[in-house]
Structure 1
């Protein structure tokens, strides 16, 4: 076989170069090292065909060029969205409560809470010292403790006494009124306890004043006075002032002085009636009311002005 023909067929195919329908063949594999291959003479009428350049990497035969362009566009848009998206950070929750206020109002709220906390602590401490057994603090500061507790915050154990109260006590008052023309008259007895009872009866939410103010004021007076109505110490004087202001206020609500009249003096009494025993009981008690009449108290300006409100 001719070497020239063999090489021409191997390089250009059986159809030869330049013929229609011929396709370039890939380069022949290199021959083994050490084999002697004679030099091929140049062929003047058949110039050598240069090797075809390698095709660029791209979609395979099964890939659609339109799909490839769509994927590239999606990648570009995703990269753009990623570049403009803000960096992730912690979720900021809206402020509520005191934190939502400005700094000035936060300081004001903190001060108000501090004042309330101090008052509550002082009150709890005073009540504890009041009900606690006698100790060094109560001996040294007994007056300050009593001034804080009485009369509004007095503590007692009458509900749990071995013999609870079995009496109805009514507090009544009358007044000496100076009329506009200078005449002096004395009113009848006003049953203040009965008025409170009527206000409480049938009321689902009675006020603390209607339930306890008058009753506690009378208990405070009895606890600080002897049987002759003489005060025992400074607490006795305080109880008189407290009870007098309450009855003057009640008389003013009932318009006891009338048009143009002025209350000069008031007198308080208590009427105590025993609770009758049940029908099956053999206990015998008196049903006659017992009165405790206090002396006349002159009414000062402090009893009718801001002190009674």
Structure 2
């Protein structure tokens, strides 16, 4: 038997596998095995819940835009925020109280204003006085000037009388052109005269319990004004003062046919003696 004869010889080694075909195997051939699995060019799906790994090339992700800085009260610390809130509450309460007091002062008399009239007047006068005569049905149509003259006692015992000092005109000159005039220049003399007229009759006699107080108030104002004007001179003393008012109607405009007398009317008060301190410019 030929040594190369492929028989059933038990001594013969295992048979060699058949040679693999060199050409492409036809598609759909039953002898074709499963296709070999190669690397998938598509990226593997990622788990959205898994943390993103930093890029080995570009490093960690770039930070986002910086937060806008806090402004106003929010920029303050907690302690200063509390202080600002307390200050704001105090200011708001003060504004509410002032508006309420002003309303009760200018409103018609009612139960609340009558019960708390003293507190309301203490709050309003003198800085927050409200004068609504300009908006009244019959607004003031007169110019009222308060004037005073003095009787001077000289060092040699003689007396002399000064001319009339127009105190209202002096206040007017001080206010004219002044952006921030004094409350005293605007209202002190005017209110003192209104107080006197309201507590006296046409014969200059006191009416009620406040008549003497209004006389004292007006007298002290005139004594201080005369001392500022040095009416007594270097060696004199103001012994008495006399006050009068000069009232003149406001002339109508040129286009009006209304006829109004512009002749002034005077109201002259009696002489008032001054205590020693008031005569030297002080307060008795």
1:272, CA displacement in angstroms?
1.7
Name the structure 2 match of 1:128: 103
1:93, CA displacement in angstroms?
1.2
Name the structure 2 match of 1:68: none
1:236-255 matches, within 5 Å, as 236=211, 239-240=214-215, 242-255=217-230
Name the structure 2 match of 1:76: 56
Q: CA RMSD in A?
A: 5.1
TM-score (normalizing by structure 2): 0.58
1:136, CA displacement in angstroms?
2.9
Deviations 1:151-191 (A, max 9, x none): 55554543344544333211112345566788765443211
1:194, CA displacement in angstroms?
1.6
- Correspondent of 1:169 among 136, 141, 144: 144
In 1, the alpha carbon distance for the partners of 2:208 and 2:239 equals: 26
Pair 224,153 (structure 1): closer, same or farther in 2 beyond 3 Å:
farther
What secondary structure sits across from 1:127 in the alignment? helix
1:214 aligns with 2:213: no
1:297, CA displacement in angstroms?
5.7
Pair 155,184 (structure 1): closer, same or farther in 2 beyond 3 Å:
same
Greater share of helix residues, 1 or 2?
1
- Structure 2: tracts of 5 or more residues without a match: 1-5, 7-14, 24-28, 42-53
In 2, the alpha carbon distance for the partners of 1:194 and 1:218 equals: 14
In 2, the alpha carbon distance for the partners of 1:123 and 1:207 equals: 23
Pair 4,285 (structure 1): closer, same or farther in 2 beyond 3 Å:
closer
Deviations 1:32-74 (A, max 9, x none): 39xxxxxxxxxxxxxxxxxxxx99x799xxxxxxxxxxxxxx9
Name the structure 2 match of 1:269: 244
Aligned residues: 250
Pair 91,205 (structure 1): closer, same or farther in 2 beyond 3 Å:
closer
Contact kept, 8 Å, 1:263 with 1:299, in 2: the verdict is no
What secondary structure sits across from 1:271 in the alignment? strand
